[in-house]
Chain A
Amino acid sequence: EVQLVQSGAEVRKPGESLKISCKGSGYTFTNYWIVWVRQMPGEGLEWMGIIYPGDSDTRYSPSFQGLITVSADKTINTAYLQWSSLKASDTAMYYCARFGGPRLISSAAYNWFDPWGQGTLVTVSS
């Protein structure tokens, strides 16, 4: 069974750093992109960044470029999402998902996010 298991809930103060994880199993981790998605309280879904663990090729949504870092350690089948200086507005649920598409990401292509991790709740409060 293909599965993504995320690290547990985190509470941090503004200005602190954080790194959350997403561990894949049941498939060849290096052959599929992993995408990160934010869901703010009571809101919808926004893609943040995507990484190909095979070679760490990484892309960012313009909305999140410079605010986050996406990385992966293929030796332990784990992808990461990190912040160097959190803000209260980073309070949200964060999901990782496997990208169902080819290595070459292109427009007008059939792709989707499946399956998803269970989510990591990040709370930033002073």
Chain B
Amino acid sequence: DIQMTQSPSSLSASVGDRVTITCRSSQRIGSFLNWYQQRPGKAPKLLIYAASSLQSGVPSRFSGSGSGTDFNLTISSLLPEDFATYYCQQSYITSWTFAQGTKVEIK
């Protein structure tokens, strides 16, 4: 299996802050990388697919970048509803794996 690792595991930020979460894969995966948001008590929601493509209906303050083994999810200006846990997931091999998640908390 491909191991996915995110950093940091948690962060504290304020409304309006720019936040970047990093995801690293244990082998090169091209741009076969997705990002999900999970608000407390809710199901995950797809934000970004193919490393940088914004899912329909997702606000443009979310963006994704990277290829190979290193990827970023950036939130340009945090809103209250963005406090959640974010997961990256590889789709390079069909034994899909997720990273452990990054919890974004209110400072």
Contacts and interface: CB of A to CB of B under 8 A. Distances in A.
Q: Decide whether A and B assemble into one complex.
A: yes
Interface of A: 35, 37, 44-47, 59, 61-62, 95, 97, 100-101, 105-119
Interface residues of B, number: 25
A107 B92 contact: yes
Given A45-B87, A47-B97, A110-B91, 14 more contacts: A44-B98, A44-B100, A44-B101, A45-B44, A97-B44, A100-B46, A100-B49, A111-B91, A112-B91, A113-B34, A113-B44, A114-B45, A114-B55, A117-B43
14 contacts: A35-B96, A44-B98, A44-B100, A59-B94, A106-B94, A108-B32, A110-B32, A110-B49, A111-B91, A113-B36, A114-B55, A116-B45, A117-B43, A119-B43
Interface in B26-61: 30, 32, 34, 36, 42-46, 49-50, 55
A97 B43 CA distance: 10
A35 to B, nearest CB: 8
B95 interface: yes
B84 interface: no
Nearest to A105: B94
Contacts of A116: 43-45
A46 B44 CA distance: 12
B99 interface: yes
Contacts of B98: 44-46
B72 interface: no
Interface in B1-42: 30, 32, 34, 36, 42
Contacts of A97: 44
Interface string B69-107: 000000000000000000101011111111111000000
Contacts of A114: 45-46, 49, 55
Contact of A62 (B32, B89, B95): B95
